[in-house]
Every structure is written in structure tokens, then in C-alpha cells.
Amino acid sequence: MLVLEDVAIQLKSQILLQVNAVIKPGEIVTLMGPSGVGKSSVLAAIAGLLPETFRLSGKIILNQHNITNMPAHLRHTGLLYQDALLFEHLDVTGNIVFAMPGKKHRDKKQYARQLLEQVGLGEMAQRPVSTLSGGQASRVSLVRTLASEPAALLLDEPFSKLDSATRHSTRQWVFEKIREAGLPALLVTHDEEDAAATGDKIIKV
């Protein structure tokens, strides 16, 4: 469970945004609002990546652990952007192996292929990421994030660069996987359709 207790983002002395939320496992809460109000900064704050020009107050609790001041790489908060941001120096499998915790490389490769097959992307295992379509890249990006065994998911307008046909199917697929994995997720968007598709709580700012 992800709990945001009076989480406020400040720039100099001005409070940009204040959020209170309890996100249960498998729930996708949407944070909606116009551009520039600091929605993405909330995600950055939860992930531990808030630029030091901003100030954070309040508490971020993930699975009963206070992670407010924890280094970013120890938080287990998976992050998805509107661009898939797959590492181009690695192929599809390489990207997923990179995300997996633990050390045994051979087992990881096999497991990565299994993960890809489970989601119907088995044929792409060896593909260079630069050859994937937008929808495929988004799916691989989610598989990669799930492979890192996150405790929560943060989605920063992840469907905004997809065309309308791909957008619909990718969105359904991503939400389904998040629910299957039982992860609390916070979605930032200014798109009403994305928000409605979650079927969960919407926080308007």
C-alpha cells in the first residue's frame, strides 16, 4: 500500500501542490490537472528524484515503511514515462535483465524470455529496441519495470505519445498487468479518458 500523508511540493516559499492519498494494492489512483501545477513533481518526490530546487514536506509510506528520505534506488518505486526510455545499447532481453534484482545472469535471461512470452512479446526477445513500435516499446517498458519487482508503480502520462488505436489497447493491457501484479499505482495525466479507464479514484488538482 502506498500512503501519501500531506505530501506538499514547494518551490521557494510557495506550495505548488499538496496531496493526501491511500493507494491499495492493485488500485490505480489518478492525479489530474493542467500542465505546470506540479503533478509530475509529486511522482518525482515519491520516486526520490525531486530536483533540489524543490522542497518536499509530508510523509511517503510504502508497505508500512517511511521512504520519504530514502535514496531513490532503494525505494522500489517503478517509474513509467510517456517515452518508453528503453536503453538502446541493450536489446529487449538485455533491458529486462538489467532491471532484475539478483546476480545469476543465465537464470535472469531465461526468466526475461519467460516474462516476454507470458505477455505475448516472446518474438521480440532478441530485437534491438530501436526497431520496436511505440506500443511494443511501452509494453516492454512495463515488463522491464515489473521485472525489477517494484512495490509501487508511478505512471507519468505513459500513453500520451501513442496513437489513438494503440493507446486504447496498451492502456487496457498496462492496467490489467498492474492489477494482476497487485501493485498500488499513481497515474499522472491530463487526459480524462485515461483517468476514466482506471475505474478508480481520481484526485483533481
Partner 1 sequence: MGFTTVLSLARYLFYIILLVPVAVGVVGVMLPAVGFFPALEQHSLSSEPITRLLAYPGIAKMAGLSLFTALLATLIAFIGTVALLAQFYQRKWLGLIQHGLSPVLAIPHAAAAIAVAFLLAPSGGAARVSAAVTSTALPDTDSLMYDSFGLVIVLALAIKELPFMLLMALGILSQPSVKQRLEGQMRVAQSLGYCHQTSFLKIVFAQLYRQLRLPILAVLAYASASVEIPLILGPQNPPTLAVAIVQWFNYTDLSMRFQASAAAILQVLVTLAAVTVWLIGEKIWQWRFCQQLASGNRRWGSVFVKLLAGILLVCFTLATILLVLSMVGYSVAGYWPFPDLAPVQLTLLHWRSALQALSQPISNTLIMGFVSTSIAVILVLLFLENEQQSDIKRASTSLADKLLFIPLMVPGVAFLYGLVWVRQWLFADALWVPVILAHLIYVIPYVFLSLAVAYRQLDVRYVHVASSLGKSPCQIFLSVKLPILFAPIMVALALGAAISFGQYLPTLLVSGGRLATVTTEAVAIASGASRRLTAVYALMQMLLPLLGFVLAWWLPTFLFNPAKRANASAKRNPAC
* Positions that interact with partner 1 (CB under 8 A): 44, 47-49, 52, 71-79, 81, 83, 85, 87-91, 94, 98-99, 101, 126-131, 144-145, 148, 150, 154
Q: What is the DSSP string of 98-130?
A: HH--SS-HHHHHHHHHHHHHHTT-GGGTTSBGG
Contact (Cβ atoms closer than 8 angstroms) between residue 6 and residue 59: yes
Nearer to partner 1, 40 or 166 (CB): 40
| Closer CB to partner 1, 36 or 101, in the complex | 101
Minimum CB–partner distance for residue 50 and partner 1 (Å): 11
Rounded to an integer, what distance in angstroms lies between the CA atom of residue 51 and that of residue 9? 11
What is the nearest approach in angstroms of partner 1 to the Cβ of residue 88? Answer: 7
In angstroms, what is the minimal distance from the CB of 82 to partner 1?
Answer: 10
Residue 18, helix vs strand vs coil = strand
Cβ neighbourhood burial of 79 (10 Å; 0-12, 13-18, 19+): buried
Of the pair 61, 90, the CB lying nearest partner 1 is at 90
What is the smallest separation between the CB atom of 28 and partner 1, expressed in angstroms? 17
Cell of 7: 505530501
- Is 40 or 168 the residue whose CB approaches partner 1 more closely? 40
141/158 Cα distance (integer angstroms): 10
Smaller CB separation from partner 1, 35 or 164: 35
Taking the complex as a whole, the smallest distance from the CB of residue 16 to partner 1 amounts, in Å, to: 19
DSSP 3-state assignment of 5?
strand
* Helix residue ranges, H only, 34-149: 39-47, 92-99, 105-118, 134-147
